[in-house]
Amino acid sequence: MTADTTWATPARILIVDDEPLNIQVLAEALGDDYDVRFTTRADEVTTLACRLPLDLILLDLVMPGRHGLEVLAELRAEAVCRDVPVIIVTAMNELDNEEAGLNAGAVDYITKPISPAIVRARVRTHVELKRQRDQLAQLAEIDGLTGIANRRRFDRELQLRWHAAQRHGDTLCLMLGDVDHFKQYNDHFGHGPGDQCLKHVAAALAQGAARTDDLVARYGGEEFAVISRAEDSAAQAQRMLSAIAELQLPHPLSSAGPYVSLSLGVLDVRPRPELSIDAALAAVDTLLYQAKRQGRRQAMLRHYDHDAITPLRAGG
């Protein structure tokens, strides 16, 4: 069994060449193992690479309008596609270009006229390396105890989503939650059951998230954070509180009720240049503090641009 068949989805490869015939020859060399896309236009490579998740780019160097090395520099300047490996495809008489390409960040080169066996071997190697890197990067962003996203992933995603929302004029919903009297829970039951409690809470929060692109992360200790679209923030917060209430994990030392519960700050916010992510997080943190001060086991919801705060309880 080759590595190709163990991948959940075929690797996606973009072939860039101003000559359609060259694209055809490369595509035929790759066969059916890959999801092959192509373009003859050097000026649209970066846009395509940012839009499609790609596993590899085969890049011609000599193209009208824009040289392959310029395209390579463009790709390296974009955070979204900076890490997509690029193999440059050059004619035999462009050896200087190969060196320049490798110096500019290409992972390898192939010379034209191409040998299908060499194309397949190099592509397979670099796609495997790319996928291994992706796997390691994913593992580094998972919380070891609960299996949900960790703080590092949360911080990275918040940066990306904040700037995307700013571009599109969207409103985000940010939540910070804290397990009520968790220190007393640990003191009473011990750290093993304390860890189990955090696992259950993480799973309940993930279950309460409505959409597949909602991000639920362990923010630290017994703190959790959520990023979602601000479409039904109140309902979402109530679902999360309900999911935790339904766990019915006994907590004899809690002032908030007989079971493990959560206090939650919920902020709808429209990102814009004059507002920092830290300011938004500080505002969510204040709401969380208010939920605690009002007796815990509840959420406090506010829109950043308005003063009114809505208290929310499980179920609604």
CB of 35 to Mg ion, least distance (A): 23
CB 134 within 8 A of CB 187: no
Min separation Cβ 24 and Mg ion, Å:
14
Q: Supply the minimum distance, in Å, between the C-beta of residue 47 and Mg ion.
A: 19
3-state percent helix, strand, coil for the chain, nearest multiple of 5: 45, 20, 35
Binding mask 43-72 for Mg ion (x = CB under 5 A): -----------------x-xx---------
User: Which one, 13 or 16, has the nearer CB to Mg ion?
Assistant: 16
**By C-beta, is 63 or 264 nearer to Mg ion?**
63
Alpha helices in the chain (DSSP H): 20-30, 45-51, 68-77, 95-103, 116-139, 151-168, 182-189, 191-208, 233-245, 277-293
* CA separation for the pair 224, 216 (Å, rounded): 7
Largest interatomic CA distance in the chain: 78
Residue carrying the six token digits 């917060």? 237
What strand order describes the sheet that includes 12-16?
A: 35-39, 12-16, 56-60, 86-91, 108-112
Nearer to Mg ion, 4 or 44 (CB): 44
Cβ nearer to Mg ion, comparing 39 with 290: 39
Pick 19 or 231: Cβ nearer Mg ion? 19
Angle at 118 between CA 29 and CA 111, to 5 degrees: 95
Size of the residue set binding Mg ion (CB under 5 A): 4
Q: How far apart are CA 272 and CA 165, in angstroms?
A: 9
As measured in angstroms, the least distance from the Cβ of 91 to Mg ion is 8
Query: 222 catalytic, yes or no?
Result: yes
C-alpha to C-alpha distance for 277 and 230, rounded to whole angstroms = 16
Q: Which is nearer to Mg ion, 23 or 288 (CB)?
A: 23
Q: Is 203 in the site for Mg ion (CB under 5 A)?
A: no
Active site residue: 222, 223, 231, 274, which one?
222
Closest distance of CB 65 from Mg ion, Å: 11
Strand pairing category for 108-112 and 86-91: parallel
Distance CA 208, CA 225 (A): 13
Smallest gap, in angstroms, from Cβ of residue 123 to Mg ion? 19
Binding mask 11-40 for Mg ion (x = CB under 5 A): -------x----------------------
Question: Cα–Cα distances in Å, from 222 out to 15, 69, 189, 262?
Answer: 47, 49, 15, 10
Residues forming the active site: 222
Residues that bind Mg ion (CB under 5 A): 18, 60, 62-63
